[in-house]
């Protein structure tokens, strides 16, 4: 919390969600373009390629595929492509969100360049976050959920503040302190909204799967991935902006001056 005159500012879940969707709506073509290039197209290619190669090269009926090298190499390649594209997308959309909330007009090339430039350190951040949360999940799940919330703004902090990798983790822990329950519910609400919007796509995907149309299955899967990615990244960036305003009294319009 931060006091502004006689008014005490508090973390507002509604304000965060509203900012996220307002940002997407105001920059719809930009967000869709970045999500399409960095989530939709890679996901489509991976699903379509895996569907043909896995079904053609391994026997999925007797369980022997679990020990097949072709199966695991396909899964590993898909995971690597998804991770790299996802990391670039996270950096690009984080910059786009913060720029919009600061009153700037984000551009595709500008945001994409940030994603490419920050790729190596953001991969390290993604791997460290994933490993930490997975280890936490092994201990009755709760520690993993706690780390998920504590580290929820690591990426925005790193992208926006130009700090070190480990400093970004500490920064996220400091910013989220005293607001973690609210952040947890914010992310749950965002995930539920994505799930609700994705229900029609799920039915469509199921229909295409039953019809054996692998192209359309991959296409709807790509659309779902792109939608979820842009909403969750915009949500994380909005959480970061809200925390800076509540805890440090820094208005969104002042963030770009700090970045510069």
Task: Give pLDDT tens digits for 25-37.
Answer: 999 999 988 988 8
Position 6 scores a pLDDT of 40
Q: Is the Cβ–Cβ distance between 246 and 179 less than 8 Å? A: yes
pTM across the whole model:
0.82
- How many Cβ atoms sit within 10 Å of the Cβ of residue 120? 10
Q: For 68-108, write each residue's pLDDT tens digit.
A: 666 667 677 777 888 898 899 999 999 999 889 888 889 99
User: Strand 2-4 to strand 7-9: parallel, antiparallel, or no bridges (unpaired)?
Assistant: antiparallel
Grouping H, G, I as helix, E, B as strand and the rest as coil, residue 93 is helix
What is the domain count for the chain? 1
Range of the domain at 115: 2-259
Position 155 scores a pLDDT of 93
- DSSP label at 60? S
Question: Among residues 257, 232, 255, which one has the least CA distance to residue 16?
Answer: 232
What is the dihedral angle through the alpha carbons of 112, 113, 118, 123, rounded to the nearest 10 degrees? 40
Q: For 16-63, write each residue's pLDDT tens digit.
A: 999 999 999 999 999 988 988 888 887 777 777 766 665 555 555 555
How far apart CA 90 and CA 35 sit, in angstroms, is: 9
Question: Among residues 37, 13, 25, which one has the least CA distance to residue 88?
Answer: 37
223: tokens are 């659309």
């Amino acid at each position: 919390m931060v006091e502004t005159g006689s008014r005490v500012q508090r973390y507002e879940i509604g304000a965060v969600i509203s900012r996220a969707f307002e940002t997407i709506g105001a920059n719809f073509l930009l967000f869709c373009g970045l999500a399409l290039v960095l989530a939709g197209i890679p996901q489509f290619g991976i699903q379509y390629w895996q569907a043909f190669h896995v079904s053609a090269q391994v026997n999925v009926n007797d369980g022997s595929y679990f020990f097949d090298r072709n199966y695991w190499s396909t899964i590993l390649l898909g995971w690597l492509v998804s991770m790299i594209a996802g990391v670039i997308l996270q950096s690009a959309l984080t910059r786009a969100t913060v720029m919009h909330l600061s009153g700037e007009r984000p551009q595709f090339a500008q945001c994409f360049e940030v994603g490419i430039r920050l790729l190596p350190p953001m991969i390290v951040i993604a791997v460290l976050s994933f490993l930490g949360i997975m280890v936490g999940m092994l201990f009755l799940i709760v520690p993993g959920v706690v780390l998920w919330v504590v580290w929820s703004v690591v990426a925005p902090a790193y992208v926006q503040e130009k700090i070190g990798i480990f400093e970004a983790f500490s920064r996220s822990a400091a910013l989220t302190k005293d607001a973690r329950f609210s952040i947890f519910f914010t992310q749950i609400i965002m995930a539920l909204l994505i799930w609700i919007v994705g229900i029609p796509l799920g039915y469509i995907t199921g229909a295409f799967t039953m019809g054996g149309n692998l192209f359309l299955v991959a296409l709807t899967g790509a659309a779902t991935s792109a939608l979820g990615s842009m909403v969750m990244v915009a949500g994380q960036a909005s959480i970061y902006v809200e925390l800076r305003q509540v805890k440090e009294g820094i208005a969104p319009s002042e963030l770009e001056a700090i970045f510069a």
